[in-house]
Amino acid sequence: MKKSSTTLACGALALSALIAVTPAIADDRFKAPGDLIKDTGIGLSIGAVLYPDMRFPLESGPAYANSHVYAPGGFKGNGGSQCDTVNYSYPWRDNFCELRRSDLPVCASGGHQGQDIRPATCQTDTHWAVAVEDGVIAHVGRFALTLQTPSGTLYRYVHMNMDDLAVAPLDKVSKGDRLGKVSNSWISELPIHLHFDVKETVQIGDETRSVFVPPYSSLVTSYRQLTD
């Protein structure tokens, strides 16, 4: 994978320099990065495509990136059904930094660590999640699977059917290999979606930290490559 010019010699990304990276291409199917649902947090309006060679994490489209919490059928969605057509329609909407319990150093309001993505249809255990890069399955937990690349980037897939994965810990995978099927596994049942996030070594001021970074623009780019 090619790292952007913002990558430092130590392998850390300088977060303050992200605006210098190639911006996502404008398209009516996608709202702008950082444009969260009103009153659900303070987003990051950064168009940086951190991972231009990343594959989209679902095997096929269409797919719909949006909040599963603040939408119909969600915990704070004011009722409705998770299968409502509004949840399975464009445009996409960023929900990195959406109000959650997590405390993220890159988010002014703390918040959500990644992006929620609904598959083509409101069906569980049907749609495949795939490897976005070559790498190794670094961890398989109760609810999540982590893919580590040779450069150290950690891609995490949450809410798949963990009882029916196509891979096991320490398996080597290639970009596009099947990992598991999108489901709704959690402590309590959630709307059907894949939570996808990226963890990177980042330079924040004078400090180097391993943090979750915004995946939205990279997902937009990879989705366009898949579907256009």
Question: What is the set of domains in the chain, with CATH numbers?
Answer: 1-228 (2.70.70.10)
Reported as a single tens digit per residue, the pLDDT across 20-63 is 455 555 789 999 999 999 999 889 888 889 999 999 999 999 99
65 φψ region: left (φ > 0), alpha (ψ -120 to 50), beta (else): beta
- Separation CA 187–CA 144 (nearest Å): 12
What's the mean per-residue pLDDT of the chain?
Answer: 88
Residue 193's contacts (CB-CB under 8 Å, 6 or more residues apart) are 68, 116, 117, 118, 119, 159, 182, 184
Say which range, 68-82, 138-152, 160-174, 196-210, has the weakest mean pLDDT.
196-210
Q: For residue 6, what pLDDT band results from cuts at 50, 70 and 90?
A: very low
- Are 227 and 29 in contact by the 8 Å Cβ rule? The answer is no
- Are 66 and 30 in contact by the 8 Å Cβ rule? The answer is no
What pLDDT does 217 receive? 95
Residue 71's contacts (CB-CB under 8 Å, 6 or more residues apart) are 77, 80, 84, 86, 87, 191
